[in-house]
Amino acid sequence: MTGAIILSSAVLALVLVIALVLPSITSPAVPFGVRVPPQHAGDPTVVRQTSIYRWRVLLGGIATAAAGVLIFAVTGATLVLPLSVLVLDAVWYGCFFLANHEIRAAKAAGGWYQGLHQGIAVDTELRTNPPRFPWLWLAPALIITAATVVIGVISYPSMPEVLAVHYDANGVPNRVVAKSVGAAFSLVFVQIGMTALLAGIAAAIVRSRPDLDPAHPVTSARWYRHYMSLGAEALLGLTAMIDLGMLGSSLLMWTGTVTPWAPLVIVLPILTAAVVAVVILARNSRERNDAEEDTGLIHRDDDKHWRGGLFYINREDHALVVPRRFGLGWTLNFGNPRAAMLLAGAAALIGLAVSLRFGG
């Protein structure tokens, strides 16, 4: 079994495991992205849809992985393997959407919010005195990026005149270009841009709008402060591993090294960092209300701003980054014009990488 198959199988397994455990680490107040009152968190519809979702994801994941490996074995097309991951993501969202639809229907039919006191909680200190940006956690990414630039500049004169910019599943180059600054440093440019982009997202996380629980506002604000810092640190740690992978890929190109295990060696640190980040955030994904007295208020019903339970669109909310409704981490407010600018920057970064590597 080649390194590419092992790598793709590892990614598929990681995506499948994450999809299966997400309902357990998501707040009971938003099962499958639907805002529900605390007394309905264990409603039979929610319990039933959680079980159905897991069975659908499990069977769909097994079928997707088996089909991907089989098609690759028959055709040898390396594109099949990453496409299998995308198909699994689509299967996951389909299962999520079905559960979201059923719970929303039960919520509307049962009038779950009728007669309840809804409210919002705001902690101004989180805006005026947000958690400090973890500069120490950014240092490894900056050091690795700087090292990549220095190594590239020193190695450029001795690089092969023809550089391999793409490899097949066996680690054999299947696309080469003549040596040029653009081709040789294509990943370096992406590395610099990616580091800046992810550092900016980390800065946005520590200044994001928290989703405070109006029933326990003090405890909720204290927990969110810790969770935002933890999320920014996890993202910057992942950034360092991505930069390390790009350094490894650049070294393979600069030295002309050919090995079937190249994809595994390059991506393994990134996968490891992603798993560690998910585990750390999952262990800290639930608020602890301690002994704070319940105010008697519940979260307001804000489902209208969440399209499909995953995408937040609220033009009246000036926040760029908000907590995700399902799973871990944060998501963009797609109603904020700055979100479009951020996505355009990411698209431009990808376009730059493609043009430099394949345009010669």
The pLDDT tens digits for 204-230 are 888 888 888 888 888 888 888 888 888
Domain residue ranges of the chain, discontinuous segments joined by +: 1-113, 121-360
Greater confidence (232 vs 173) lies with 232
pLDDT in tens, 153-194: 999 898 888 887 766 655 666 677 788 888 888 888 889 988
Q: Closest Cα to residue 113, out of 19, 36, 220?
A: 36
Give 117-172 as a DSSP string. Answer: -EE----THHHHSPPPP-HHHHHHHHHHHHHHHHHHHHHGGGS-SEEEEEE-TTS-
* DSSP element (H, E) containing 287: none
d(CA 116, CA 320): 30
pLDDT in tens, 285-321: 666 655 678 788 888 888 889 988 889 999 888 888 8
β-strand partners of 311: 307
β-strand partners of 175: 166
Structure confidence at residue 159 (pLDDT): 87
Neighbouring C-beta atoms of residue 44, cutoff 10 Å: 9
Structure confidence at residue 360 (pLDDT): 46
Range scoring the smallest mean pLDDT among 29-33, 109-113, 295-299, 354-358: 354-358
d(CA 285, CA 276): 14
d(CA 323, CA 291): 24
Structure confidence at residue 122 (pLDDT): 81
- CA 219 to chain centroid: 27
Name the packing angle between helices 135-155 and 217-255 (round to 10°). Answer: 10
How confident is the prediction for the chain on average, in pLDDT? 83
Going from the C-alpha of 64 to that of each of 71, 87, 98, 99, the distances in angstroms are: 11, 7, 19, 20
pLDDT in tens, 97-107: 999 999 999 99
